[in-house]
Structures are given as C-alpha cells and as structure tokens.
Amino acid sequence: MIPTPPRQGGDPNFHNERFSNATHRSKTDPDVRLYRKGKGKEAHLSYLGHYVVDVPSGVILAAEATLATGDAETRVGRRLLAQVQQQLPQPRKLAADKGYAEKNFLKEAIEFGLDPHIPLQREEEEPIPTWKRCTFCLDRFRQRKLRVQWAKARNDVRQLNRQPVTAYVRHLRKRVEHLCVEAKEWHGLDRARVRRLWRMQIQIRMTEDLHLAFWKVQRTCHGTAGDNQWLFKYGI
C-alpha cells in the first residue's frame, strides 16, 4: 500500500487527515482549541465556560472562561470553590456531573465541608490501600497517604450517592441546564463573539452580570431566595 503524501500548504483537500491541538492552530485566534463534548462527536474550535450556580435560586455566583483542555473542569472548579466560599456562608451540598469525579477534586470538596453528590463509574466501595512494608522515602510516603485519602473520598461519595436526597439534588441540576440554554439563546454564548481568552473572560462575566440583574428584578417582584446549594456546570 502506497502511503498518502502529506498535504502541502494551501491544499484544500483535508480527506483522511487527523486534526489535533498538537499539530494545528487557528491563525486568527491562537488561544482557541479543538474540543469535542463526547465520543463520536465532531471537534470544534472552542473555549470552556465554567459557572458556579446556587441551585434553588438559580443565581450564578462565579464564572470563568478557560482554554478547552481535559483538566480544565476540575482545576477551575477547585479555584471557584475557594473563591465563592469566601463570599457566602458555608454551603452543604455540591452537585455536578461525571466530569468532576476526579480524585483531587473530590478530596478537596470534602475538605471544604461539602457533600459532593457526583456520580462515579463504580458504585461499589473500593478497599482502602495498605502496604506490608513501611517506607522511609518521603515522596513515597506522601504518595501512599494521597492514595488512601483518594480512596476514602471516593467511598464517602459512594455512601452519599446511596442516600435518598441524592435523587432530589440531581433533579435540581436541571435548573442549571435551563440556565445554559438561556445563556446560549439570549446572551450569545452559543458561540464566541470575540477572539483571545481575555476577551472571552469579558463575555462570560457580562453574561453573569446580566443574569444577576435579571435575578434581582425577579427577587424584588417575587421575594425568592436560595439556600446555598452549589452546582458546577460548563458550556461551550
């Protein structure tokens, strides 16, 4: 079989060519990245928008735009947790999708005093790792300690997911789905209106401000307020 020669510059034929962020970049926006939402989905040049939402009231508490990378959800989620915790009283529950079922994120959420109701791939509890021999290597000792903390955090989440309140918390997540649809249809987040990441930060923050202004008007008319439950959700 004769291998296909590499495509030359200016050749519009992209057939059988695989695109990736390691080989391709946008000439007009170097910050944008190829990203797809799931297996079998097409990849688009995208940014990620992250929101922290008070579920009962539907108020966006914090927002941030990042590059479309695989670890952006949990990395930004931990930062937004610390940011919002300084502004509001201690919340009780944290609801999120499977994208946030990362070991460090679960461990830090529990350390923040939250009950993370996050679905895991395995529902049965895992054994806590043990070792027959002790170690005098400091790095290895720290790694063992982290592995124990990760296993305990995942088991704590599994116990929380068996409680009846978990179904109710996940039901409340649908309110955030409506917020994502509203942001895309009414506030222009269906696509990036600007180029470069720092400009996307402005677009994300403007959406947050518009939604907060609408919530204040609604609260003035109806007198509704939330009880500090948080939910993380991202949109492209």
Distance CA 46, CA 49 (A): 10
Interatomic CA distance for residues 175 and 98, integer angstroms: 17
Side chain identity at 51, as an amino acid letter? Y
How far CA 151 is from CA of 85, 135, 167, 231, in Å, comes to 25, 20, 23, 23
Compute the Cα dihedral for 138, 142, 145, 151 and give only its sign. negative
CA distances from 224 to 10, 152, 179 (A): 58, 38, 17
Q: What is the pLDDT of residues 184-224, one digit of tens each?
A: 777 777 778 888 888 888 888 888 777 777 666 666 665 54
Identify the CA nearest to 94 among candidates 61, 65, 126, 123: 61
- pLDDT: which is higher, 173 or 35: 35
Q: Distance (Å, rounded) from C-alpha 56 to C-alpha 195? A: 34
Residue 88, token pair as written in the block: 């509001």
Instruction: Please give the single-letter amino acid code of residue 208.
Output: E
User: For the segment 131-162, what is each residue's pLDDT rounded down to a tens digit?
Assistant: 989 888 999 999 999 999 999 999 999 998 88
pLDDT tens readout for residues 114-138: 888 888 888 888 999 999 898 889 9
Residues near 217 by beta carbon (within 8 Å), at least 6 away in sequence: none
Between CA 13 and CA 10 the distance in angstroms is 9
Decide if pLDDT at 39 tops 70: yes
Prediction pTM value: 0.74
Task: Give the contacts of 53 (CB within 8 A, at least 6 positions apart).
Answer: 59, 60, 61, 175, 176, 179, 230, 231, 232, 233
